[in-house]
Structure 1
Amino acid sequence: MIRLNLTQRIWMSFAVLILIIGFVLAIIFPLSIKKTLTDETYNIIEEEQTKLIDPTSKKIPSTPPQSKDFIDRQNAERSVGHVILQKDFLQGDYVPAKVLSEMTNHAHKQRAPQHNYELQYKGQTLFYVTRIINVKGSDAYFISYMWDTYRDRMVDRLWTRLLWLLFFTGVIAVLPALWMARYLRAPLRLLGKKFEQIAKRNWKEPFKWEGDDEFQRLSGQFESMRRNLIRYDEAQKTFIQHASHELKTPVMTIKSYAQSVKDGIMPKNNVEDMMDVILKEADRMENRVKNMLYYTKLDTLHQQTLQWELLYFGVLSEEVISRFRFQRDDVGFGIHGDEVLFWGDREQISIAFENLIQNALRYAKSQIVLSAREEGNNTILGVWNDGEQLSEGDLENLFIPFRKGNKGQFGLGLAIVKRIAELHGGAPRVTNTEDGILFEIILPKDQMILEKKTTKR
């Protein structure tokens, strides 16, 4: 396949356009102009014929003396000859016997007062008009004829002028083609430079094109992409910074205790206690790594990859609660709305509830309640605990990665909840209640059904 740049494409488009116009005209123009000039030829014949007929006279019209014979008229453009037939009487120009025979046959069969004919003679077309006139009670045929010379020469002249017109149009089209090529390439070149900058991770300079709506829309889309890349880059840097900070403390603790054991120094009572500290820190580091890997995994998921199924809230809640029921003996669990049904990915929703319950266990005084209810077109899933209320600043930043409360561990649990809610087409919400704090996941019912159908396809 031939590859063309933008300028070559524009030149090719102009050339093809002119060729198509020329091809169409080459077919349509001769046909239409020939028909028009044929009608004009008959009009000339009729006008010349009318001049020789006196409607008040009962005599045969006398034809003017002719300076051209039948064949000579082929070279004349508008020369009209005349022949009058009445029984055995013949008057007018000399006409070859073959032509006269055909004219006579047509005349005798003619019923209309006037009729147009054409015939072929030695490769050329002869147009003639036969008019029936009444002379002293008997019919006579007044035949006027004209060769196709006028028509063919007019077609040739008009066709030549049209070719010249197409030629000059093509030459003049060079200017707009040059302008259009430059006009279209300007924003594309600028956009190409911007892409090169982004390829080099230089996306600080904004891009905005003012002018045509199409290029302005394209520049807006590019600018949106640039901002998303900046946000993603900043989020990655923040993630790496927080991840390194979260991992540095347990690594330093493990390293210091291991060095102490090697040097024979006992910060704790015995080696067993020191090993317990190392194992505890190793477990904490493992959990942090798992959370960070799972959070980055969620960024690669899309709604089409979720395993949609119809979930009973009561069954799902019992499964999740069973994993935490004995972590704190002083905290009781409750379930409201266990009959509610909703669409979702069982694994993802379970992980979201696990993170909400883990968070609630750190703050609850005596009670944690899991709830579900339908509200308009949404299904609201909630986890309430009777812990202390949060300030307005904490409420706004609670779902941001690595933002920890006063009893938080890694700062990723609620961020994971938010990402899972977004993957389901919903959003998280946290509000202070009169006697505690309520975390909710808002899931649109209609969108869940739509996504389920899309996944089945």
Structure 2
Amino acid sequence: MTDPNIDFSMVLASAVHDMKNSLGMLLNSLDELRIEHEPALVGSNKFNMLQYEAERMHNDLVQLLGIYRLGENNLSAHIDEHYVPDFLAEHLARHTPLLEGLGIDYAIDAADINGFFDEDLLTGVLNNTINNAIRYTKSKILLTARQEDHELVIGVEDDGQGYPASMQHSGTPDFKSLDFKTGNTSLGLFFASSVAVLHQNGDRTGRIALHNGGTLGGGVFEIRLP
């Protein structure tokens, strides 16, 4: 008999939180192993795949917790001022060992600007987007930042085949449109767009945009914050 007092969604959220923390510790250990056993592990496809998949799962759990909090009306943006080039450099550095192990070139093209955003929320978006770019790029990843039309625009570009036409859009995908049967849920995009919407300035609201081209000719992910 099921206990009616059990909040199963809370149980799942607690379990996801614990798994996220465990994977964070695992990722730290993998970074330490890579340093301790260079150069043997630098070119190891198995080790690089292990680190990539662990990072991907960690990002997925971060997004699940964020979406759970969103559903509970318990997710809000705590806006503060940040120096954007340093923010991008710090988060690219997290992925640098894996990028170098996979032989992927990386760079930052950021204007000398400050931005106003929730650092933790944007960290979740950026880490997931970089991880996706690692999966689909051929050889290069570029992080960009600029001010345009009174918006802070942070982008992640790659030189892969780009987004299919069905994924290119600007705005916020509807949660009901996510397809859990095919496995292609676009959960990361829903999380990113939800984070963008939490950033508001007057009557203007943040959004994401997906298109192809950019500097590298592949996929371009942009989060635009007012």
TM-score, structure 2 as length reference: 0.61
Number of the residue aligned with 1:292: 64
The one of 120, 133, 136 equivalent to 1:360 is: 133
Contact 1:312-1:338 at 8 Å conserved across structures: no
Matching of residues 26-425 of structure 1 within 5 Å: 288-299=60-71, 300-301=73-74, 305-328=76-99, 329-396=102-169, 399=173, 402=178, 411-424=186-199, 425=205
CA distance in structure 2 between the partners assigned to 1:333 and 1:326 by the alignment? 11
Is the aligned partner of 1:436 residue 2:207?
no
Structure 2 residue identity aligned to 1:327: L
Question: Secondary structure, in 3 states, of the residue corresponding to 1:387?
Answer: coil
Aligned pair count reads 162
CA distance change for structure 1 residues 421 and 290 in 2, over 3 Å: closer, same or farther? closer
Number of the residue aligned with 1:191: none
CA distance in structure 2 between the partners assigned to 1:282 and 1:390 by the alignment? 24
CA distance in structure 2 between the partners assigned to 1:282 and 1:368 by the alignment? 20
Contact 2:60-2:188 at 8 Å conserved across structures: no
CA distance in structure 1 between the partners assigned to 2:57 and 2:110 by the alignment? 37
How many Å apart are 1:352 and its aligned residue?
1.2
Contact 1:430-1:439 at 8 Å conserved across structures: yes
CA distance change for structure 1 residues 309 and 386 in 2, over 3 Å: closer, same or farther? same
How many Å apart are 1:432 and its aligned residue?
1.1
CA distance change for structure 1 residues 374 and 359 in 2, over 3 Å: closer, same or farther? same
Question: Deviations 1:189-237 (Å, cap 9, x if unpaired)?
Answer: xxxxxxxxxxxxxxxxxxxxxxxxxxxxxxxxxxxxxxxxxxxxxxxxx
Contact 2:168-2:210 at 8 Å conserved across structures: yes
CA-based RMSD of the aligned residues comes to 3.4
Higher radius of gyration, 1 or 2: 1
Question: Deviations 1:406-444 (Å, cap 9, x if unpaired)?
Answer: 9x8763222111111110130000111161111111111
How many Å apart are 1:360 and its aligned residue?
0.8
Question: Deviating runs (4+, > 4 A) in structure 1?
Answer: 281-290, 396-404
TM-score, structure 1 as length reference: 0.32
Structure 2 residue identity aligned to 1:294: G
Question: Deviations 1:247-278 (Å, cap 9, x if unpaired)?
Answer: xxxxxxxxxxxxxxxxxxxxxxxxxxxxxxxx
CA distance change for structure 1 residues 342 and 288 in 2, over 3 Å: closer, same or farther? closer
Question: Deviations 1:116-175 (Å, cap 9, x if unpaired)?
Answer: xxxxxxxxxxxxxxxxxxxxxxxxxxxxxxxxxxxxxxxxxxxxxxxxxxxxxxxxxxxx
CA distance in structure 2 between the partners assigned to 1:292 and 1:384 by the alignment? 24
Question: Secondary structure, in 3 states, of the residue corresponding to 1:318?
Answer: helix
Contact 1:340-1:373 at 8 Å conserved across structures: yes
CA distance change for structure 1 residues 321 and 391 in 2, over 3 Å: closer, same or farther? same
Structure 1 residue identity aligned to 2:70: L
Structure 2 residue identity aligned to 1:296: Y
CA distance in structure 2 between the partners assigned to 1:440 and 1:331 by the alignment? 21
Stretches of structure 2 that go unaligned for 5 or more consecutive residues are 1-8, 13-52, 200-204
CA distance change for structure 1 residues 442 and 295 in 2, over 3 Å: closer, same or farther? same
Number of the residue aligned with 1:264: none
Question: Deviations 1:166-190 (Å, cap 9, x if unpaired)?
Answer: xxxxxxxxxxxxxxxxxxxxxxxxx
How many Å apart are 1:391 and its aligned residue?
2.6
Greater helix share, structure number: 1
Number of the residue aligned with 1:140: none
Name which structure has the greater RCO, CA cutoff 8 Å, separation 6+: 2
CA distance change for structure 1 residues 400 and 321 in 2, over 3 Å: closer, same or farther? farther
Stretches of structure 1 that go unaligned for 5 or more consecutive residues are 1-239, 244-280, 445-457
Contact 2:56-2:128 at 8 Å conserved across structures: no
Structure 2 residue identity aligned to 1:350: T
Number of the residue aligned with 1:271: none
How many Å apart are 1:314 and its aligned residue?
0.9
Identity of aligned residues (%): 27
